[in-house]
């Protein structure tokens, strides 16, 4: 079990973005994170034990205890016990239950994933060195089953934690230090989304700027920043977040870290750089100064070749599985409305290349010619980059169902097989919409468009265009294989619930 870390740490702190209300939470609770870590440990232990037990039973036969082949041949029972203990130890050493990542989703899940594959890579190396021939079936059951169960358990606890945070519990109290404008901006970001789990308890401003009874972003000013350590301890804060300010020097931050030592209060530094993920950031100390390098975004190379291969294989598998569904939907579209089964339209893809996208036809035949009339009925004079009419009279009865469930998008699996699209990426748009792009929106064209994407799993049509563009650009510049898996998993959830679709 992970022991609670009582030392103050200096860590980069990046505010989380959300479209939720910016009102500060009504209830603030600094919980006992060790209780939640214990629950996670129990869930992880059950998942690991179950997976290695299933793997052991696969190798067990009627003759008795099965043994590993090779020069060194322990029983599979002993291998299972050692593997389970090593797995749980790796999850602890890998800080997968660190209170600062609990409930974060991708960061927490990525740590679990990385710990697991490294553990089994180490098992393979050790088996080779000791000349142990561990059965492929054993490892083939233990690794994916255990990883899936652990991630499922983490996802369940994440939902539990989010529910408590939305009710006002399991909040981490924060003391913000900085000038008023930057402090107000940070407070607004921290209070936007209650699921993030932060609640600002107070603000410390540079000496000489204090006004009695002053509020910043609805949060009281509690004193000068040279007393921040004392104030943080007094109000029970779990972290001190430092925003940029001329008065806040490296020496000031260093002394603040000393003031927080042994109090179990984290020291967090906000970064002005947003929407840049960890893989592109390198911290390098230079003469005692932590220098942060940001790698340029790359859109070619082995990672993207692997993505194309992975997308093609998975799209082919999904297409084969869904062939009966595709056939039934095609028949329904055909018999309920005159016109072609598929809707074809020219879209703009990677680097501005044009291609024809496939969708099940969800509107009456010739719907394009009626667009101006529909817009006039809804009082719309011009169409923006991402405009999609609500209650569109051109949509057929079957079309409303397949749109709400996104089944109309399934023929784009053939676009993936043809190499025009990826499973995950920004949604492709028509030429008239691309013509309205600014410099940021043009970044969407640096990768293949996707059947689903970060925008689609974060609100779909209910999101404001600027929020959607930011999410797409974030994906384009910070794409990772594990991130794609997370988006695909979230896509299934969004489709079932029908969030943001019309």
pLDDT digits (tens, 9 = 90+) for 457-489: 876 666 777 778 888 888 888 888 888 888 888
Confidence of residue 379 (pLDDT cuts 50, 70, 90): low
DSSP 67: B
pLDDT at 256 over 70: yes
Per-residue pLDDT, averaged over 444-465, amounts to 82
Secondary structure percentages of the chain, helix, strand, coil, to 5: 50, 15, 35
Q: Is 189 found in the same domain as 121? A: no
pLDDT at 24 over 60: no
Per-residue pLDDT, averaged over 354-361, amounts to 94
Q: Is 142 found in the same domain as 67? A: yes
What's the pLDDT at 120?
92
* Cα–chain center distance at 447: 19
Confidence of residue 273 (pLDDT cuts 50, 70, 90): low
Q: Is 112 found in the same domain as 178? A: no
In a domain, 476, yes or no: yes
Q: Which position has the token pair 């989380």?
A: 16
Last residue of a domain, which of 112, 139, 166? Answer: 166
Last residue of a domain, which of 106, 131, 166? Answer: 166
Confidence of residue 26 (pLDDT cuts 50, 70, 90): very low
pLDDT in tens, 121-139: 999 898 888 888 888 888 8
Q: Is 365 found in the same domain as 239? A: no
Confidence of residue 30 (pLDDT cuts 50, 70, 90): low
What's the pLDDT at 448?
94
Q: How far, in Å, CA of 176 to CA of 184, rounded? A: 9
Q: Is 380 found in the same domain as 436? A: yes
CATH at residue 242 = 3.40.50.720
Confidence of residue 494 (pLDDT cuts 50, 70, 90): confident
Q: How far is CA 92 from CA 51, 112, 364, in A?
A: 18, 10, 57
pLDDT above 70 coverage of the chain, percent:
78
In a domain, 72, yes or no: yes
pLDDT in tens, 88-111: 999 999 988 888 888 776 788 888
Backbone angles phi, psi at 378, to 5 degrees: -95, 5
In a domain, 490, yes or no: yes
Q: Which residue has the higher pLDDT, 380 or 70?
A: 70
Q: Is 380 found in the same domain as 411? A: yes
Q: Is 56 found in the same domain as 87? A: yes
What's the pLDDT at 349?
93
Number of domains in the chain: 3
Confidence of residue 1 (pLDDT cuts 50, 70, 90): very low
pLDDT in tens, 284-336: 665 566 666 677 777 888 888 989 999 999 999 999 999 999 999 999 999 99
Please give the helix or strand (H or E) that residue 491 lies within, else none: helix 481-497
Confidence of residue 502 (pLDDT cuts 50, 70, 90): very low
In a domain, 279, yes or no: no
Burial (0-12, 13-18, 19+ Cβ within 10 Å), 6: exposed
- Cβ atoms of residues 101 and 124 within 8 Å: no
CA triple 264-259-188, angle to 5 deg:
70
Q: How far, in Å, CA of 295 to CA of 67, rounded? A: 49
**Start-end of H helices in 269-395:** 302-336, 371-377
Q: Is 405 found in the same domain as 378? A: yes
What's the pLDDT at 376?
66
DSSP H helix total and E strand total for the chain: 15, 15
Q: Is 252 found in the same domain as 185? A: yes
Please give the helix or strand (H or E) that residue 198 lies within, else none: strand 198-205
Q: How far, in Å, CA of 184 to CA of 475, rounded? A: 28
Strand partners, 133: 69
pLDDT in tens, 212-248: 778 888 889 998 888 888 999 898 888 898 886 555 6
- Cβ atoms of residues 86 and 119 within 8 Å: yes
- Cβ atoms of residues 393 and 374 within 8 Å: yes
In a domain, 396, yes or no: yes
pLDDT at 391 over 80: no
pLDDT above 90 coverage of the chain, percent:
26
**HEC string for 317-344:** HHHHHHHHHHHHHHHHHHHHCCCCCEEE
Q: Is 315 found in the same domain as 458? A: yes
> Alpha-carbon dihedral of residues 465, 471, 477, 482, nearest 10 degrees?
-150
| Number of neighbouring beta carbons within 10 Å of residue 467 | 16
Strand-pair category, 215-216 with 219-224: antiparallel
In a domain, 5, yes or no: no
pLDDT at 443 over 80: yes
Per-residue pLDDT, averaged over 44-54, amounts to 94
Backbone angles phi, psi at 389, to 5 degrees: -60, 140
In a domain, 25, yes or no: no
Last residue of a domain, which of 136, 166, 196? Answer: 166
Which residues, other chains included, contact 182 with Cβ-Cβ below 8 Å and sequence gap of 6+? 243, 244, 245
Q: Which residue has the higher pLDDT, 8 or 335?
A: 335
Q: Is 155 found in the same domain as 183? A: no
Which residues, other chains included, contact 206 with Cβ-Cβ below 8 Å and sequence gap of 6+? 179, 224, 225, 245, 247, 248
In a domain, 423, yes or no: yes
Q: Is 59 found in the same domain as 94? A: yes
Per-residue pLDDT, averaged over 199-203, amounts to 90
Is residue 222 helix, strand or coil? strand
- Point out the least confidently predicted range of 16-30, 76-90, 200-214, 292-306: 16-30
Segments forming the whole domain that contains residue 191: 172-274
Strand-pair category, 215-216 with 450-452: unpaired
Winning range, highest mean pLDDT, from 42-56, 396-410, 465-479: 42-56
Q: How far, in Å, CA of 209 to CA of 246, rounded? A: 13
Side-chain-side CA neighbours of residue 404 (13 Å)? 13
């Amino acid at each position: 079990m992970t022991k609670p870390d009582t030392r103050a740490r200096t860590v980069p702190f990046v505010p989380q973005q959300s479209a939720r209300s910016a009102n500060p939470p009504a209830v603030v609770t600094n919980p006992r994170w060790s209780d939640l870590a214990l629950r996670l440990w129990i869930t992880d232990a059950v998942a690991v034990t179950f997976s290695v037990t299933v793997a052991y039973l696969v190798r067990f036969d009627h003759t008795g205890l099965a043994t590993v082949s090779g020069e060194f041949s322990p029983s599979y029972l002993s291998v299972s016990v050692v593997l389970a203990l090593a797995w749980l130890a790796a999850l602890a050493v890998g800080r997968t239950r660190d209170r600062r990542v609990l409930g974060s989703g991708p960061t927490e899940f990525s740590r679990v994933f990385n710990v697991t594959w490294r553990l089994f890579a180490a098992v393979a190396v050790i088996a080779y060195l000791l000349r142990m021939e561990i059965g492929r079936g054993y490892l083939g059951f233990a690794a994916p089953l255990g990883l899936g169960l652990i991630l499922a358990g983490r996802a369940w606890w994440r939902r539990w934690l989010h529910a408590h945070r939305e009710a006002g519990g399991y909040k981490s109290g924060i003391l913000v230090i900085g000038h008023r404008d930057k402090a107000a901006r940070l407070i607004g970001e921290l209070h936007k989304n209650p699921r993030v789990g932060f609640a600002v308890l107070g603000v410390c401003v540079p000496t000489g700027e204090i006004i009695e009874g002053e509020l910043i972003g609805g949060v009281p000013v509690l004193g000068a920043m040279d007393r921040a350590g004392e104030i943080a301890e007094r109000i029970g804060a779990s972290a001190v977040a430092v925003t940029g300010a001329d008065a806040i020097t490296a020496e000031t931050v260093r002394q603040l870290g000393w003031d927080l030592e042994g109090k179990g209060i984290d020291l967090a530094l906000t970064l002005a750089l947003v929407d840049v993920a960890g893989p592109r950031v390198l911290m390098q100390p230079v003469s005692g100064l932590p220098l942060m390098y940001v790698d340029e975004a790359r859109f070619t190379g082995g990672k993207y070749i692997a993505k194309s291969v992975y997308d093609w294989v998975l799209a082919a598998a999904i297409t084969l599985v869904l062939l009966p569904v595709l056939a039934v939907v095609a028949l329904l579209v055909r018999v309920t409305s005159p016109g072609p089964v598929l809707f074809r339209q020219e879209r703009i893809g990677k680097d501005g290349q044009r291609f024809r996208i496939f969708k099940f036809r969800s509107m009456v035949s010739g719907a394009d010619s009626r667009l101006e009339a529909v817009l006039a009925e809804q009082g719309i004079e011009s169409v923006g980059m991402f405009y999609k009419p609500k209650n569109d009279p051109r949509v057929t009865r079957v079309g409303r169902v397949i749109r709400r469930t996104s089944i109309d998008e399934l023929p784009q699996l053939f676009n993936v097989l043809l190499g025009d699209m990826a499973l995950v990426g920004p949604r492709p748009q028509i030429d008239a919409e691309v013509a309205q792009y600014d410099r940021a929106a043009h970044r969407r064209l640096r990768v293949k468009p996707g059947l689903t994407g970060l925008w689609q799993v974060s609100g779909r049509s209910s999101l404001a265009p600027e929020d959607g563009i930011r999410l797409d650009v974030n994906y384009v510049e910070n794409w990772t294989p594990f991130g794609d898996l997370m988006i695909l998993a979230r896509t299934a959830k969004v489709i079932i619930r029908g969030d943001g679709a019309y």
